[in-house]
């Protein structure tokens, strides 16, 4: 199994990008050449040079340093959204699949309602209702994301709930809750967790989008979407202010997608 | 007959979903921290005015009464009054919606025009250079922040080269065509107004391609995998064995049969494009629903945000319903359960 990961160059590329981003996030204060918030009006709108590799923005902040610190915000949002949405979705999906009947109907109709909104629109209205901040964007994205896990887990539960090991646990007198926790959930979590790893990239992309329209991180936070948003004012004078934060988003999302794709191929027997 | 019964059943099944959408949006509206009356009255209003407004807006009624009123208004097409423009939100939406629809349809058109052939080529040349190229493009497309791509396009084609316009729907100085559908390209065609048609098309190019960049990636991937499945089947081998030309077999036989999953994805793509309009319209100052919603967020105009949310959700499920019905009707192998 391990060898297969090394065989796929795209998966390796994804892994490499993700590891680099995690390293940048952890060691940001030591790697970044400047303070990401340090205003220096004497140095504003400088093009890329050996001193400022990615140039400076409209108040003279070093864009490279801001992008490096931005990895912290994006990773935090990506992981926290999945950490909140994943257990909620998994538990509801397991209950729906295992209980069946009216419980199943109710849970699945609720997920249908959430999925009948294009994701970004639902998160946008929730974040707008709660007010602009990173925490609210996080919450809004989690509320939008859980139904996907519910669907996946439910269908895996349906496929195993009549299998022999579940039957025998039932025959031994295990309670439904015990069966869910001990037998069902551990055996259905695989596909859902692959989905979660694929989702990290899209969560980060959505969060950047929400910050871009003014809902997420607020200035002067070095969040990539917010940086892109303010770069529009100075586009004519400073192409670099718009170019580099976007590349950062693209690479991060691409890295997580490649890694997620690779994991899915690895764990899905159909692709072997 | 079965098909008709299926269609009716599907339409009836939409009712609980619509009900759910209204409950969810009502719930979101009620979580606004801070008082809607205070927001509507503005920052400098005194306590007495706010109290009157609270009473007038029915904010002191029990929640179920408020929901009943909300629902009644929704059904009558009353989406509330904008806190910013002070006119009914429905009026605003009528004005902005055609621009969004035009942009979405245009980007879907580009998506189909490029994405499907790219997927077919990719599948027919599996693991060859063309396939690798198409797959990498699709991967990048899916990971692409459309709002950034839009800015880069602006930078290059508008600011640097100056060959394409960067904002709005028409050149300044041109009057919009007589409104029939509200979509400038179609209205200009219908009235034979070529100057406006040209200008409208040219203005659609950058936002349309920006919007399509992401969906092209999705459609290419889907077409590729769907085609790969079909290409392995016996009748395709037979068609090739009988001496059918490459293009004829690929597009005439294989694509027709591999079309079903692509069709479903097109429905999702439509929703994706509608959602993406929030970002892309902001970049290109495209006067549609997305930009309207984003401006509304800036002005804390909450009724407007919710109206756009509801409208897009309803549109999204309607399109998916139509595609589902189409799917069932064109494929006689499927039964109607």
Please report the domains of chain B, with CATH numbers, ordered by start residue: 95-291 (1.10.3720.10)
Q: What does the pLDDT read at residue A272?
A: 41
Q: What is the pLDDT of residue A6?
A: 54
Contact across the interface for A212 and B31, Cβ inside 8 Å? no
Compute the nearest-CA separation of B213 from chain A (Å). 13
- Dig out the tokens for B163 from the structure: 């060959």
Q: What b/e sequence results for A185-212 when a residue is b if at least 16 CB atoms lie within 10 Å of its CB, and e otherwise?
A: bebbbebbbbbbbbbbbbbbbbbbbbbb
Q: Which residues of B touch A258 (CB under 8 A)?
A: 139
Query: At which residue do the structure tokens 């790969």 appear?
Result: B228
Which stretches does DSSP call E strand in B13-156?
none
DSSP output for B193-240: -HHHHHHHHHHHHHHHHHHHHHHHHHHHHHHHHHHHHHHTSHHHHHHH
Highest-scoring range by mean pLDDT, A43-52, A191-200, A246-255, B294-303: A246-255
Report how far apart, in Å, the C-alpha atoms of B305 and of each of A41, A127, A209, A258, B73 are: 37, 11, 16, 35, 16
Dihedral, CA of residue B262, residue B268, residue B274 and residue B280, to nearest 10: -70
Distance from CA of A203 to the nearest CA of B (A): 11
Q: Which chain B residue has its CA at the smallest distance from A10's CA?
A: B136
The predicted pLDDT at position B291 comes to: 92
DSSP B177: P
Nearest chain A residue to B152 by CA distance is: A243
A81 against B5, higher pLDDT: A81
Whether B17 and A116 have beta carbons less than 8 Å apart is answered as yes
Give the integer Cα–Cα distance in Å for A68 and A56.
14
Residues A158 and A97: their CA atoms lie apart, in Å, by 5
Do B143 and A112 make contact, defined as CB atoms within 8 angstroms?
no
Rounded alpha-carbon distances, angstroms, from residue A47 to A126, A149, A242: 38, 45, 12
Residue A72 in this model has a pLDDT that exceeds 50: yes
Q: Do B275 and A236 touch (CB under 8 A)?
A: no
Residue A63: the pLDDT is 94
Cis peptide before A220 (omega within 30 of 0): yes
Cβ-defined contact of A116 to B21 (cutoff 8 Å): yes
Mean predicted confidence (pLDDT) in A251-262: 91
Nearest residue, CB atoms, A129 vs list B29, B148, B313 = B29
Considering only the beta carbons, identify the residue of A125, A214, A231 that sits closest to B28: A125
Secondary structure (H, E, C), B24-45? HHHHHHCCCCCCHHHHHHCCCC
**Chain B residues within 8 A of A132 when measuring between CB atoms:** 297
Helix, strand, or coil here: B140? helix
CA distance A62 to A70: 12
Question: Could you tell me the domains of chain A?
Answer: 2-29+63-271 (1.10.3720.10)
**Beta-carbon separation of A205 and B145 below 8 A:** yes
Mean pLDDT by 10 residues, chain B (337 residues): 78 87 85 68 77 78 84 85 86 92 93 90 86 86 93 94 92 88 92 92 95 90 84 81 80 77 80 88 94 87 87 88 78 57
Query: Is residue B327 helix, strand or coil?
Result: helix
Contact between A232 and B31 using a beta-carbon 8 Å cutoff: no
Mutate: best of A129, A205, A227, partner B, most B CBs <10 A: A129
For the record, the structure tokens of A57 come out as 């923005």
CA distance B147 to B284: 9
The 3-state secondary structure of chain A reads CHHHHHHCHHHHHHHHHHHHHHHHHHCHHHHCCCCCCCCCHHHCCCCCCCCCCCCECCCCCEHHHHHHHHHHHHHHHHHHHHHHHHHHHHHHHHHHHHHCHHHHHHHHHHHHHHHCCCHHHHHHHHHHHHCCCHHHHHHHHHHHHHHHHHHHHHHHHHHHCCCHHHHHHHHCCCCHHHHHHHHHHHHHHHHHHHHHHHHHHHHHHHHHHHHHCCCCCCCCCCCHHHHHHHHHHHCCCCHHHHHHHHHHHHHHHHHHHHHHHHHHHHHCHHHC
Cβ atoms of residues B139 and A258 within 8 Å: yes
Mean pLDDT of chain A: 89
Residues of A in contact with B25 (CB under 8 A): 125
Task: Say which residues have a Cβ less than 8 Å from residue A106's Cβ, sequence separation at least 6.
Answer: none
Q: What is the dihedral of CA A125, A127, A128, A134, to 10 degrees?
A: -150
Report the distance separating Cα B272 and Cα B290, nearest Å. Answer: 12
The first and second tokens of residue A260, run together, are: 């997620």
Q: What is the pLDDT of residue B17?
A: 87
- Judge: B271–A258 Cβ closer than 8 Å, yes or no: no
Task: Kindly tell me if the per-residue pLDDT of A111 is higher than 90.
Answer: yes
Which chain B residues touch A131 with a CB distance below 8 Å?
33-34
- Among B140, B145, B297, select the one facing A208 at the smallest CB separation: B145
CA distance linking residue B212 with residue B230, whole number of Å:
26
How would you class B70 by CB atoms within 10 Å of its CB: exposed for 0-12, middle for 13-18, buried for 19 or more?
A: buried
Q: Which of A214, A239, A246 sits opposite B297 (nearest CB)?
A: A214
Closest residue by Cα to residue B288 from B151, B88, B92, B91? B92
Set of chain B residues whose Cβ sits within 8 Å of the Cβ of A257:
139, 142-143
Reply yes or no on whether the pLDDT at A5 is more than 60. Answer: no
Tokens representing residue B298 in the block: 């800036």
CB atoms A113 and B149 under 8 Å:
no
Residue of A219, A226, A260, A259 whose CA lies nearest to A245: A226
pLDDT band (50, 70, 90) for residue A182: confident
Query: Is A91 within 8 Å of B245 (Cβ atoms)?
Result: no
Between the CA of residue B321 and those of B7, B12, B218, B219, B257, what are the distances in Å?
9, 11, 20, 19, 21
The lowest-confidence range among A104-118, A219-233, B142-156, B260-274 is: B260-274
Prediction ipTM score: 0.90
Q: How far apart are CA B158 and CA B249, in angstroms?
A: 42
How confident is the model at residue B114, as a pLDDT?
Answer: 92
A208 CB neighbours in chain B (<8 A) are: 145
For A239, the closest chain B residue by CA position comes to B155
Residues from chain A that touch B151, judged by Cβ atoms under 8 A, are: 228, 231-232, 235, 242, 246
The per-residue pLDDT for B337 is 47
Identify the CA nearest to B306 among candidates A121, A216, A111, A145.
A121
DSSP, collapsed to helix, strand or coil, labels residue B81 as: strand
Contact B152 A246 (CB under 8 A): yes
**pLDDT(A204) > 90:** yes
**Which of A114, A116, A214 minimises the CB distance to B298?**
A214
Task: Enumerate residues 6+ apart whose C-beta is below 8 A from B193.
Answer: B177, B187
Q: How far is B245 from chain A (nearest CA, A)?
A: 31
Predicted confidence at residue B13, as pLDDT, reads 83
Contacts of B147 in chain A (CB under 8 A): 209, 212, 225, 228
Which chain B residues contact residue A239 at CB under 8 A? Answer: 155
Tell me if B54 sits within 8 A of B60, measured CB to CB: yes
User: Is residue B88 classed as helix, strand or coil in its secondary structure?
Assistant: strand
CB-based contact A113 B305, cutoff 8 Å = no
């Amino acid at each position: 199994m391990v060898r297969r990961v090394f065989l796929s160059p795209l998966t390796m590329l994804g892994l490499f990008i993700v590891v680099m981003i995690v390293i940048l996030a952890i060691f940001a204060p030591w790697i970044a050449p400047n303070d990401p918030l340090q205003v220096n009006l004497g140095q504003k709108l400088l093009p890329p040079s050996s001193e400022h590799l990615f140039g400076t923005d409209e108040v003279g902040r070093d864009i490279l340093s801001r992008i490096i610190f931005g990895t912290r915000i994006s990773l935090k949002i990506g992981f926290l959204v999945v950490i909140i949405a994943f257990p909620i979705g998994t538990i509801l999906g397991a209950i729906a699949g295992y209980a069946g009947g009216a419980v199943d109907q109710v849970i699945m109709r609720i997920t249908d309602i959430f999925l009948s909104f294009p994701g970004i629109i639902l998160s946008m209205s929730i974040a707008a209702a709660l007010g602009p901040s990173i925490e609210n964007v996080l919450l809004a994205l989690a509320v939008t994301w859980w139904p996907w896990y519910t669907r996946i887990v439910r269908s895996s539960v349906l496929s195993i709930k009549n299998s022999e090991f579940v039957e025998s646990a039932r025959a031994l007198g295990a309670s439904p809750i015990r069966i869910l926790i001990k037998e069902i959930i551990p055996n259905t979590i695989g596909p859902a967790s692959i989905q979660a790893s694929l989702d990290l990239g899209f969560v980060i992309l959505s969060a950047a989008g929400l910050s871009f329209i003014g809902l997420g991180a607020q200035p002067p936070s070095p969040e990539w979407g917010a940086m892109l948003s303010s770069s529009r004012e100075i586009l004519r004078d400073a192409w670099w202010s718009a170019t580099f934060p976007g590349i950062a988003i693209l690479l991060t999302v691409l890295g997580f997608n490649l890694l997620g794709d690779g994991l899915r191929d690895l764990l899905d027997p159909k692709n072997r | 007959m079965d098909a008709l019964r299926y269609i009716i059943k599907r339409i009836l099944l939409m009712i609980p979903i619509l009900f759910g959408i209204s409950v969810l949006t009502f719930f979101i509206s009620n979580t606004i921290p801070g008082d809607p009356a205070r927001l509507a009255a503005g920052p400098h209003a005194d306590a007495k005015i706010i109290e009157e407004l609270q009473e007038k807006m029915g904010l002191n009624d029990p929640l179920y009464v408020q929901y009943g009123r909300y629902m009644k208004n929704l059904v009558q097409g009353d989406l509330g009054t904008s806190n910013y423009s002070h006119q009914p939100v429905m009026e605003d939406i009528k004005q902005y919606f055609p621009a969004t629809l035009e942009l979405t349809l245009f980007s879907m058109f580009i998506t189909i025009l490029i994405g499907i052939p790219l997927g077919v080529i990719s599948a027919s040349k599996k693991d060859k250079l063309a396939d690798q190229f198409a797959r990498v493009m699709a991967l990048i497309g899916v990971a692409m922040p459309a709002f950034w791509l839009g800015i880069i396009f602006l930078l290059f084609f508008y600011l640097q080269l100056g060959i394409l316009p960067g904002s709005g729907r028409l050149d300044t100085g041109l009057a919009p065509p007589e409104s029939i559908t509200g979509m400038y390209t179609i209205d200009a065609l219908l009235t034979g107004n070529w100057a406006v048609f040209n200008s409208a098309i040219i203005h659609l190019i950058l936002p349309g391609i920006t919007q399509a960049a992401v969906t092209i990636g999705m459609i290419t991937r889907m077409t590729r995998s769907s085609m790969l499945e079909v290409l392995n089947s016996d009748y395709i081998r037979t068609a090739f064995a009988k001496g059918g030309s490459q293009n004829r077999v690929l597009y005439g036989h294989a694509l027709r049969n591999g079309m079903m999953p692509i069709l479903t994805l097109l429905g999702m793509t439509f929703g994706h494009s509608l959602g993406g309009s929030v970002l892309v319209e902001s970049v290109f100052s495209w006067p549609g629903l997305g930009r309207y919603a984003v401006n509304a967020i800036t002005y804390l105009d909450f009724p407007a945000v919710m109206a756009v949310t509801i409208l897009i959700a309803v549109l999204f499920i309607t399109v998916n319903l139509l595609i589902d019905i189409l799917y069932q009707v064109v494929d006689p192998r499927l039964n109607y359960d």
